[in-house]
Amino acid sequence: AYIARKDAVEPQVQAFLSDNREFALEAAAAVDKKIAAGEAIADLAGVPGAIKDNICIKGQYATCASKMLKNFKSPYNATVIEKLMDVDYVSLGKTNMDEFAMGSSTENSAFQITHNPWGLDYVPGGSSGGSAAAVAAGECVWSLGSDTGGSVRQPAAYCGVVGLKPTYGLISRYGLIAFASSLDQIGTFTNDVEDCAIVLNAVAGHDAKDSTSIPQAKKDYKQALVNDVKGMKIGIPEEFFGEGLDAECRKALDEAIETYKKLGAEIVPVSMPHVKYGIAAYYIIAPAEASSNLARYDGVGFGLRVEGKDIVDMYIKTRSEGFGPEVQRRILLGTYVLSSGYYDAYYLRAMKVRTLIKHDYDEALKQCDVLLTPTAPDTAFKIGQNSGNPLAMYLGDVCTVTLNLAGLPGLSIPCGYKNGLPIGMQLIGKALDEETLLRAAYTFE
Ligand code: GLN
């Protein structure tokens, strides 16, 4: 049924970069056999999903939507894929994204533009726009994305689905092609909060292959699905509700706050004076790390190679042809802020601001259990509307990037509509307290 649905809507939505139906049908048949034999199966067994194209699956393309990796097939599985194999997962294919996860609209893909299922002239958000659109269009039940500065939560908001970016270190990044390593985290897209807990159960957990992975006992996140927020303290950081937030989005969020009050939660106003520097700090730190991570695409080890008259010429030709304009912009920004003479003024200063932002979150989360904010200042924008204006695109990330700087978990859940497009609400939790986030979201839903 999902393959038929995918065939019907994919020509309009264009969420997928590759199709995996043969493997999917085989995997589903294997689950059927288990059921027929009376064997127990996992919650996720046989349920069709999709995987962002920056997550490695052995023998399959992992293009990062870049010409640089157009012909790259991964020789190994990401740890999340190994974990999904343990629960008999089924994936219908790899999903479209902004090239190397840089962007907020999926328009930076070298291959195609994904359309928002709620309005085909609108972007699905990004960079995990394909994963969000695939779930929203009913092409699959769940998907994985990655979130470096909002790339799971913002497309979830634009596409009206639930998107979770867990605590930095909860899900292994082994086999996730790196963008900015101190910020990158794999996250989930689902139609509802229960499915979110189920997918999180499958992919979370310590991994010795990722040095940033946190050793802790495995949890059952389904136990967090408690329909009760009585006495829960929900913090409202005023800085997220100021100038720039669309009036109708604000109204939907105010109504959500009222709903929580009626459900017995306590609303606590909090202040986070440094989050206003979030975009500036993020757009120094993320490109700095990206410029370093992307140095590996040199035409030698793997990926595209364009011959030149000598090795330097080969590097230049390979990288000029292989990387699209946004990726080149990030590499230029990143190498600039890291260069001697500028390092102290930009990178070091941004790292100090990062600490102040982390401190703001620590203080705010001492006063409450979760924070409630918009996921984005407005609903999805039209395809092409921001593509010539990188700064406008960057400013749209104002609600999401600070969580990555602080390493905290965040979840986006639909809270209303404006002109037929979904509005997203972001819930932010304490580190490794995904349970309270899920509980708050589940009760709201
Ligand atoms: N939009 C942000 C950026 O372009 C975040 C991307 C992401 O989370 N991968 O960097």
Q: Which atom of ligand 1 is nearest to the CA of 397?
A: 1
What is the tens place of the pLDDT at every residue in 217-269?
Answer: 899 999 999 999 999 999 999 999 998 999 999 999 999 999 999 999 999 99
Please, what are the domains in the chain? 1-445 (3.90.1300.10)
Pick the residue with more confidence: 387 or 417?
A: 417
Backbone angles phi, psi at 26, to 5 degrees: -65, -45
- Cα distance between residue 261 and residue 258, in whole Å: 5
- What pTM was estimated for this model as a whole? 0.98
Question: Sign of the CA dihedral 200, 375, 108, 124?
Answer: positive
CB atoms within 10 A of CB 389: 10
To test the pocket of ligand 1, the residue of 104, 185, 394 to mutate (highest count of ligand atoms within 8 Å of its CB) is 104
Q: Annotated catalytic, 127?
A: yes
Percent of the chain with pLDDT over 70: 100
CA dist., res. 398 & res. 113, Å (int): 23
ipTM of the complex: 0.98
Q: Please give the number of the atom of ligand 1 that sits closest to the Cα of 183.
A: 8
The catalytically annotated residue of 127, 131, 146, 213 is: 127
pLDDT of residue 149 exceeding 90, the answer is: yes
Q: Cα 223 vs. chain centroid, distance in angstroms? A: 24
**What pLDDT, on a 0 to 100 scale, did the predictor assign at position 243?**
87
Ligand 1 closest atom vs CA 283: 10
Ligand 1: residues with CB < 6 A are: 101-104, 127, 146-151, 179, 286, 397
Asked if pLDDT for residue 379 goes beyond 90, the answer is: yes
Return the beta strands (E) in 334-442 as ranges: 370-374, 410-418, 421-429
Q: Is residue 143 annotated as part of the catalytic site, yes or no?
A: no
State which ligand 1 atom lies nearest to the alpha carbon of 393: 1
Q: How many CB atoms lie within 10 A of CB 286?
A: 28
Q: What is the pLDDT of residues 128-145, one digit of tens each?
A: 999 999 999 999 999 999
How far apart are the CA of 186 and the centre of ligand 1, in A? 13
Four-residue CA torsion sign, 54, 56, 60, 61 = positive
H or E element at residue 49: strand 48-52
**Catalytic residue from among 52, 67, 165, 430:** 52
What is the model's pLDDT at position 408?
98
User: From ligand 1's centre to the CA of 104, what distance in Å?
Assistant: 6
Length of the chain: 445
CA of 339 to the centre of ligand 1 (A): 23
Opening angle at CA 360, ends 355 and 363, nearest 5: 120
Say whether pLDDT at 186 is over 90: yes
3-state secondary structure of 268: strand
- Phi, psi dihedrals of residue 195, rounded to the nearest 5°: -60, -35
The chain-wide mean pLDDT, for the chain, equals 97
> Averaged over 17-35, what is the pLDDT?
96
**pLDDT tens track for 38-55:** 999 999 999 999 999 999
pLDDT at 280 (0 to 100)? 97
Task: Tell me the C-alpha distance between 69 and 230, whole Å.
Answer: 50
Say if residue 82 is exposed, middle or buried (CB neighbours under 10 Å; 0-12, 13-18, 19+): middle
Query: What is the CA(239)–ligand 1 centre distance, in A?
Result: 21
Cβ(47)–Cβ(4) below 8 Å: no
Q: Which contiguous run of DSSP H or E holds residue 145?
A: strand 142-147
Question: Sign of the C-alpha dihedral, residues 250, 256, 259, 265?
Answer: negative
From the list 18, 128, 131, 151, the catalytic residue is: 151
CA distance 398 to 277: 9
The atom number, within ligand 1, closest to the CA of 286 reads: 10
What residue owns the CA closest to ligand 1's atom 5? Answer: 149
Model confidence over 268-324: pLDDT tens digits? 999 999 999 999 999 999 999 999 999 999 999 889 999 999 999 999 999 999 999
Query: In the predicted model, what is the mean pLDDT of residues 336-361?
Result: 96
Dihedral (C-alpha) 127, 131, 132, 137: value to the nearest 10 degrees?
A: 140
> Up-side HSE of residue 142: CA atoms within 13 Å toward CB?
24
What is the whole-number distance in angstroms between the Cα of residue 26 and the centre of ligand 1?
Answer: 35
Name every residue whose Cβ is closer than 8 Å to that of residue 32 and which is 6 or more positions away in sequence: 46
Active-site annotation holds for 271: no
pLDDT at 175 over 90: yes
| H-assigned helices in 294-413 | 311-322, 325-338, 349-366, 390-395, 401-406
Query: C-alpha dihedral over 144, 215, 358, 195, to 10 degrees?
Result: 30
CA of 405 from ligand 1 middle (Å) equals 12
